[in-house]
Structures are given as C-alpha cells and as structure tokens.
Structure 1
Amino acid sequence: MITSETVAGPLGRFANRLKREILTNVTPVRWAADGMHEERRRKWAPHLPPLDLAQAGLVSTLQRQGVRIGPLDDLAIPTTDALKPALDRLVAPLANLPTGGASTLRPSTDDLLADLFIWQWGLQDRMLDIVENYLGVPARYYGADVRREVGNSQTVGVRRWHRDAEDRRTVKILVWLNDVDDQGGPYAYIPLAETLYAVEKLHYVAGFVDDARVADMVPAGAVTAATGVKWTAVVADNCRLLHRATPPIARDRFSVTFTWSSRTPMKTEAAPDYTPDQARRIRSGLSARQLACLPPALACG
C-alpha cells in the first residue's frame, strides 16, 4: 500500500514538486497550511524542554543566521566520544572502495549499523532538546548518512545550488571526517539575507539552480565555504539557505550528516529501505521519546 511514507521514484518527485508549487503559489492554500503549522507550534510551546546557555545560544544562532560552524565537541552531546572511533572504522574501507565512476559512495546499511552509536547519536536528549526548540514542534529523526564525495570535479546532484524541500525548517549536522579545504569539497552557503533576495528574484520553489544564475543574483564575496579540520560540525537549516556541496577537486571528502524535521514535513519521503532485523536494531534500547522521533516505518514492528 502506498502511504505518505512510501511514495518514491518519479511519481513521488512529481507529487512533492506539485505540493511545493501549490503551497508556494496558491495563496489560500498557503495561508491554511501556515495557519495549521502555527497552531501546532502554539500548542507545543508549553512543552518545549528547557535549554542551558550553550543550547540556547545555538538555537538563537540558527534562528538569526540559519547556520553555525564549529567543533563537534562544542555541542556536548553524550556518546560523541564513542561516535568518533565508530565513524573512523567506516571511513577506512569506504576510502578503499573502487568508485566505478560514481561521484558519491556510501557504506552498506549493515556496515552503517554495525556500531549503533552512529545512527542513534542524533537521538540523544540534549540534541533533541536543541532541535525541538528550533523547530517549535516535536522532531522526526532520519538517522546518519555517511558519504564519500569523490574528488572528480563533477558538478552533479547536491553539488549544485539548491534549498532542501523537506519542510519549513530542518536541522542538519554535517561533520567532516577528514580535513576539508577549499579544494576538498566544502559545504558552501549563501547567507540568509542574500538567499532570500535570490529566491525572490529567481521565483525559486525547489530544485537545482545553475551557477551562472546564482552568480547574477549574489555577490561572489557573499558565498561562504565551511572549510575545517576533521570533526568540524556544520549545523544548518538547509531549507532556509541556498547551499551546495562544492565539487571536490584535489581530494575526496568524507562526512556524516544527521537530519531532523517536524513530524508533519512538507515533503513526502520514501520509506527507509531497512530489513526488519535492521529496523529492530535501530529501535533497540531507545526510550519512548526517541522511538516517537523515528519515521513511522521504523517506529513499529
């Protein structure tokens, strides 16, 4: 049966694009959808967890700028000390995989789940407290995406300018698993004010934007590249910022991305491709709060 969690392929992409077009361009529909979302935020406001100064500072930065770049350790998320060696164990075999002409390589799902620290890291209460306060509603968590971006200079996929279309707001944490310089494929973004100007002038709804069109709208000096040493963390709302994975030239880039949205996202996502045993492993040891953050296809069974 096709549900809101299982639509995929060309039909799913068409449906998501049509939904985004309607929500953007049909004013009464947009007003109604925005009104329902604000009502959800209003009802949840009394239940938002309290934050310490560091957490509140991060939320404030995301609200004002849409991005924060700094050491992963600054987030003070429990199990980060166990996360790092688990990720290191994934990078070595991933680095030795033949590319087969691909621009992006990922470990197998079994390899990714060999150390549950990796997938479950984003379900720590401290992290959920930050995300929930930024979103204003309960969070949905999509797990970890470990990637090797091959240094082939190809401008394909997310290496082109775009905004994510999952929701009104998201939180993504992108962590460098090797040192990343200007030629190593850094995350690049256009600051919020310049993004909003470009989006308006381009009549942008969703999809990729050519470099030349972006260059016409945005001064070259406004583009910011998030270079950094290993374990640098980019915390960003990619639904608000025009951004890209700059094509790596001199060397491959290794990273892990953790993603959260609301539980009523604007984009219909395909059901995660996990076996029943893999789904049981993901759920193992999770609290009721953590289970509630999983996509429906993972949260039961």
Structure 2
Amino acid sequence: MESGNHDDSNEKIPQVYTVTYLPEFATWGSEKRLINIIENYIGLPIIFHGVHLRKDFPNKSQFGTQLWHKDAEDRRMIKIIIYLNDVEEKQGPFEYIPASLTSLFRLNYYRTYYKLWQSGHLGITDEELNEIIPKEAWKSCTGSAGTVIIVDPKKAIHHGTSRTEHRLTLFSCYTSTSPERPEVCTQYRDNTFPQPKLTEPVSNSAI
C-alpha cells in the first residue's frame, strides 16, 4: 500500500483496496459459525458483501469518517473491523457512543439525529457531539494487531479518531439479503476501489 510522508494538517483520504475476491478473505468472511452469529443478531437471512483493506493516514482535522456518523447500508447490519497494526491513540482508534445513550426514547437520540440531519448526514465534530454527550462517555477501541471489533454501525454513532500515525485495517460488511440501500453495498464487489495487484489472477468465482 502507499507509503511516504504526509502533512498531518491536510485532509488525506484513506487508501482502500477491495480484497473480497482473494480466497483467504472470502473464506474467512463466509465462515458458517460467523454467519450464524450475525444472522442471529440481524434476525433475517444475511449476505456477506465483502472486505476492504484500508490504510488511514495521519490527519489532525476531522473530515469523512473521522466525523461522528452512522452507516446507511441497512436498518440493522454488522461490520467487522480487524486491526492489522497495533492501534493506540496516535493511530486513531475506532470510537463509539454506547447505544444505550442514544436509544429511541432518550433526548440524546433526537439531539444527535438533528445534528446529523443538519450536516446532511455527513457527520458531526467532536465539539458538537461533546455538547450532547460528554467525552467521558465515549468508548475508544485501542488494541494490538489482530484485535477484532464487531459493531452495528447503523445503531451506534461512531468515527475514527484523528491520528498522528497511519492505521491499517480490514472492514467486512454484512446486511440482510434485502438491504435498505443496496447501491451503497456494491462498493465491496465492484470497481469503486482497486483490487490489489497479484502475481496470479483470482477468479470472481472465488466467493
């Protein structure tokens, strides 16, 4: 993946590869026991959309997925995040708000939803969220390489924190077989992001 020095004051977009068609990722993501766990949570037949390999670069300003947001693929969904390097505060860990603090019948639900609506659902800043939910309640997921995070990113408002060192991750996506926004799900299989260059071609029939 791309390397080099990047000014951490710039908005450096992450580098993303689609690795869904590599047999190792396809086999792991489709493992029966894992599918059963996710299907039990979602409560419907599910589909494994695929895997992204992602490198996030140093960045001090909040933009993109560093803003607090909710994902939109489906009404209920699962994403699995795997850290490929040790992630401490300087690498920008995944951070979320416990769903109990923004449940439907709490004032925080309407306050955060209104802020997200004002942003065009692009996301809100740390300062804006801190006015609603104090920073002491935010949950940061630091961990060593190999750490696995399983989250419903539609239910929990979340983001990746600002970082001074790069972070490498895998993102796997699961929804029901009839997702609310199927057009958003195609990025795990189509040409939205490049596939890694291989010494031998991999057939799309791998999954």
* Same fold flag (TM > 0.5): yes
2:141 pairs with 1:231? no
Structure 1 gap ranges (5+):
1-93, 287-301
Which whole-Å deviations, capped at 9, do the CAs of 1:164-196 have from their partners, x for residues lacking one?
111111111100000000121100001112233
Paired position in structure 2 for 1:105: 15
Paired position in structure 1 for 2:199: none
Paired position in structure 1 for 2:137: 222
Report the alpha carbon displacement of residue 96 of structure 1 after superposing the two structures with TM: 3.1
SS of 2:90's equivalent in the other structure is coil
- Equivalent residue pairs, number: 185
Paired position in structure 2 for 1:273: 190
Paired position in structure 2 for 1:254: 168
SS of 2:183's equivalent in the other structure is coil
Paired position in structure 2 for 1:212: 127
- 1:114 and 1:172, CA in 2 relative to 1: closer, same or farther beyond 3 A? closer
Mapping of 1:120-131 within 5 angstroms?
A: 120-131=27-38
Q: Is the 8 A contact 1:103 1:154 kept in 2?
A: no
- 1:106 and 1:99, CA in 2 relative to 1: closer, same or farther beyond 3 A? farther
Paired position in structure 1 for 2:41: 134
For 1:139 and 1:114, the matched residues in 2 are separated by 19
> Structure 1: which amino acid aligns with 2:110?
E
- 1:201 and 1:254, CA in 2 relative to 1: closer, same or farther beyond 3 A? same
- 1:245 and 1:257, CA in 2 relative to 1: closer, same or farther beyond 3 A? same
- 1:268 and 1:181, CA in 2 relative to 1: closer, same or farther beyond 3 A? same
Paired position in structure 2 for 1:263: 177
- 1:241 and 1:282, CA in 2 relative to 1: closer, same or farther beyond 3 A? same
2:157 pairs with 1:242? yes
Q: Is the 8 A contact 2:54 2:170 kept in 1?
A: yes
Q: TM-score, normalised by structure 2?
A: 0.79
Which whole-Å deviations, capped at 9, do the CAs of 1:190-240 have from their partners, x for residues lacking one?
111223343222344543123222111102110011000000011000110
Where relative contact order (Cα < 8 A, 6+ residues apart) is larger, the structure is 2
Report the alpha carbon displacement of residue 95 of structure 1 after superposing the two structures with TM: 5.1
Paired position in structure 2 for 1:201: 111
For 2:41 and 2:146, the matched residues in 1 are separated by 23
Mapping of 1:1-301 within 5 angstroms?
A: 94=1, 96=3, 102-107=12-17, 109=18, 112=19, 115-196=22-103, 197=106, 198-204=108-114, 206-249=121-164, 251-270=165-184, 271=186, 272-274=189-191, 281-284=203-206
- 1:99 and 1:151, CA in 2 relative to 1: closer, same or farther beyond 3 A? closer
For 2:87 and 2:204, the matched residues in 1 are separated by 30
More strand by share: 2
For 1:257 and 1:265, the matched residues in 2 are separated by 18
Report the alpha carbon displacement of residue 241 of structure 1 after superposing the two structures with TM: 0.4
> Structure 1: which amino acid aligns with 2:15?
L
SS of 1:183's equivalent in the other structure is helix
For 2:125 and 2:81, the matched residues in 1 are separated by 23
> Structure 2: which amino acid aligns with 1:182?
E
For 2:45 and 2:31, the matched residues in 1 are separated by 14
Which whole-Å deviations, capped at 9, do the CAs of 1:78-114 have from their partners, x for residues lacking one?
xxxxxxxxxxxxxxxx15367697330124x5xx367
Q: Is the 8 A contact 2:2 2:15 kept in 1?
A: no
Percent identity over paired residues: 27
- 1:105 and 1:203, CA in 2 relative to 1: closer, same or farther beyond 3 A? closer
Q: TM-score, normalised by structure 1?
A: 0.56
Report the alpha carbon displacement of residue 163 of structure 1 after superposing the two structures with TM: 0.9
